Structure 1
Amino acid sequence: MTRLGLCSVTFRRLPAAEVARRAADAGLEVIEWGADVHAPPEEPGTVRAARDASDRYGLACCSYGSYFRATPDDSAEFPAVARAAVLLGAPRVRVWAGGTGSRDATPHERRGTATRLREAARIAADHGLELALEFHSKTLTDSVASTLRLLDEVGADNLRTYWQPPLDTPDEEALAGLAELGDRVAAVHVFSWWPGNRRLPLADREDLWAGVFDLLNRRRARLDALVEFVPGDDPAVLAREAATLRRAAAHRPGPPA
């Protein structure tokens, strides 16, 4: 039920057609086009080229990796982001929950971020799109508790969240957080970093990813697992990483504890 794919930001230096070709050659199914290089919202021609590239290699565009942060400075930018997502054929837009961590954000900042996300969700719905929050440090989604709270504060049916393993978090704790987010997860970003942001092969944390798919496979609902960053930003290792991802995805859940 989980589609396996690639975030194009993994290979920012490659042209879109080369990114799509390598993803297809690695046996991946879907792609998240990033707005920073491969599909800037203000460049419709570049966005169309990205869509053409994924179509040519038989990849579905599962999401648009935008950099809309729901801050006062970019509050007017979302309509262009939504139009670009439609042009890509992406059903989902990845957005960010401000630029301040949950412990440092004032109540006023938090309310403002929620208000802007609510408006973005309204615009997205008008375009037939879902939104999903980047699960990331230095934003209001820097913890599971703050993410769940923000989703409730926004209160939009078409808003969910991404998940990725928090830095330096042991496997058991990371998996507990994913379980707590439950059905509110739309996709996961797949990488193995340890310690800090040291990039390891996925196989070095294969137990973590087997545990992730144990949880995901219990849900029996479709979502996306997207490779995001590889050791050395080396395109040559993508096939190896995709093979590890397929092995983890094939993990069958055991009986409930």
Structure 2
Amino acid sequence: MTGRERREREEQGRAGSPPAGSATTVTRPGLCSVTFRRLPAAEVARRAADAGLEAVEWGADVHAPPTEPDTVRAAREASGRYGLTCCSYGSYFRATQGELAEFPAIAQAAVLLGAPRVRVWAGGVGSSAVTPQERSGTVTCLREAARIAADHGLELALEFHSKTLTDTVDSTLRLLDEVGADNLRTYWQPPLDAPDEEALAGLSALVDRVSAVHVFSWWPGNHRLRLADREDLWAGVFDLLNERRVPLDALLEFVPGDDPAVLTREADTLRRVAAHR
């Protein structure tokens, strides 16, 4: 069954009146292409569509390098062929002064890809170790990148990640305020080894400024589990996101064993948990 056929069947099943108490999800399920770096873009798109996913974030490292426009076009064509929306461009721009000259090419690649958003990184030093000068430099670089992105009709979103200035919720909120750009938001993902309650409290503080979440189930450390193995966490995540009632993307990333064969299982879990109330 193709992804389109799966979605049509699901829509037919929802054609009647919804049952009392049924949940409505505002999240769009998708896939980060870096999950399957070893597969060609067309194969990534086919598998995502067959799993019933709706969107893809194309990564700049393999599937859509900003210096290879033909490769970028091929990724865009793969999205269209399988009925997927390109929701974002996963860049590895770290917002350091030495990288700023590279950002216009990244923005142009995002436009060529048809992505409305570019994911960027907040430096390469954690918030507790960064010097005031380094932090100021990252702020200045992000502000200029946001200006360039706006000129191209793009949004920016920060990777929420350790060893960057988005390694804590407080530092992320501070950074967003320091940059002060209307088109800059952030991603969210569960911090490594954070208990469910702690992770959910962090998301609750950040949720109004989140444009997408990276969805995975790791515990302990970066040991990859089935998404269902941390279902309580993700049910809580989607309850928070659905209460906000603002559409955003929920993107599967780094499935167990990097195994394409488990994608449908993980996508089924994602949709089920995203509809949790």
1:82 aligns with 2:107: yes
Q: In 1, distance between residues paired with 2:254 and 2:177?
A: 30
Q: In 1, distance between residues paired with 2:177 and 2:192?
A: 25
AA paired with 1:106? T
What secondary structure, in the 3-state scheme, does the structure 2 residue paired with 1:217 have?
Answer: helix
* CA displacement 1:169-203 (0-9 Å, x = unmatched): 00010000000002100000000000000000000
AA paired with 2:178? E
1:52 aligns with 2:69: no
Please name the residue that 2:42 is paired with: 17
AA paired with 2:63? H
1:168 aligns with 2:167: no
What secondary structure, in the 3-state scheme, does the structure 1 residue paired with 2:101 have?
Answer: coil
The equivalent position to 1:119 in structure 2, one of 118, 121, 144, is: 144
Q: In 2, distance between residues paired with 1:194 and 1:106?
A: 31
Q: In 1, distance between residues paired with 2:247 and 2:143?
A: 24
**C-alpha RMSD of the superposition:** 0.5
Q: In 2, distance between residues paired with 1:210 and 1:60?
A: 25
Please name the residue that 1:4 is paired with: 29
The structural deviation recorded for 1:73 is 2.4
Please name the residue that 1:148 is paired with: 173
1:209 aligns with 2:226: no
AA paired with 2:169? V
The structural deviation recorded for 1:226 is 0.1
Please name the residue that 2:10 is paired with: none
Alignment of 1:1-257 (within 5 A): 1-252=26-277
The structural deviation recorded for 1:76 is 0.7
Q: In 1, distance between residues paired with 2:99 and 2:260?
A: 33
Q: In 1, distance between residues paired with 2:113 and 2:28?
A: 18
Unpaired stretches in structure 1, ≥5 consecutive residues: 253-257
What secondary structure, in the 3-state scheme, does the structure 1 residue paired with 2:220 have?
Answer: coil
AA paired with 1:32? E
Q: In 1, distance between residues paired with 2:211 and 2:163?
A: 21
Q: In 2, distance between residues paired with 1:104 and 1:34?
A: 28
Q: In 1, distance between residues paired with 2:196 and 2:231?
A: 10
AA paired with 1:216? L
Q: Which runs of 4+ in 1 moved over 3 A?
A: none
What secondary structure, in the 3-state scheme, does the structure 2 residue paired with 1:199 have?
Answer: coil
What secondary structure, in the 3-state scheme, does the structure 2 residue paired with 1:75 have?
Answer: helix
AA paired with 2:55? V
What secondary structure, in the 3-state scheme, does the structure 2 residue paired with 1:193 have?
Answer: coil
Look at both structures and tell me which one has the larger radius of gyration over its CA atoms: 2
Q: In 2, distance between residues paired with 1:115 and 1:73?
A: 12
The structural deviation recorded for 1:72 is 2.3
The structural deviation recorded for 1:74 is 1.1
State the TM-score, normalized to the length of structure 2: 0.90
Q: In 2, distance between residues paired with 1:63 and 1:176?
A: 26
Deviates more, 1:68-77 or 1:213-222: 68-77
State the TM-score, normalized to the length of structure 1: 0.97
**Paired residues, number:** 252
> What percentage of aligned pairs have identical amino acids?
85
Q: In 2, distance between residues paired with 1:20 and 1:155?
A: 35
Q: In 2, distance between residues paired with 1:81 and 1:179?
A: 31
Unpaired stretches in structure 2, ≥5 consecutive residues: 1-25
